[in-house]
Structure 1
């Protein structure tokens, strides 16, 4: 009874916005919100990847800014879509489009895995010891 009886009104068919959402999608409200949260995360990841890949294609910043604005407009065009199945189709289409136009030789930060400086200075073998006070150590 913490919710003041609101749950009972929803279960009995009272007019509530969450009931309308559940009836529209054919799934429970919690499942609907969980699916929408997962979709928002997929869209966020797709946008970040596409934006970073745009930086690989655009050599100069003024070109990148224009391409980034175009990319943002594409994402904003479908911002108000509410149908979860249509959103899934749009995400799948966007991911396919991203895979199609992905840069064949992306920029990798030199010290990151796959970069030109990654593991350039490997760790020393297990038997080697570093002496910091060279010449001042105790010799028995």
Structure 2
């Protein structure tokens, strides 16, 4: 099975460059599983739908918790499904850059616009690596 994810156009250049290899999503019935291929699009379910890169492989899916205060991200914790342990992200700016933002302030602004006045966000962190064989044939 292949799972598709849609991204805003602003993230396509980072995905193409390989600097964004993760996405944070709300819980849903079924996210990708490690080893499965993903489909990454912009404009999904519109006539402007475009695949961003050849289908990458999912490497990991982990629970993530983001805490906001005054519409700013102040804490990110990543868990494991099996042990129930959580690890706090030490460098929020680095984490934000890995997710396609310039820094944590940029990511905080995006989250405030997308999710409103929430104090906590709980979801899934989905990571991938490119399909090297697809790049070789592209």
The alignment's TM-score, normalised by the length of structure 1, stands at 0.19
The alignment's TM-score, normalised by the length of structure 2, stands at 0.20
Q: Specify the structure having the higher radius of gyration (Cα).
A: 1
Q: Relative to total residues, which structure has the larger strand share, 1 or 2?
A: 2
Q: Relative to total residues, which structure has the larger helix share, 1 or 2?
A: 1
Greater RCO (CA < 8 Å, at least 6 residues apart)? 2
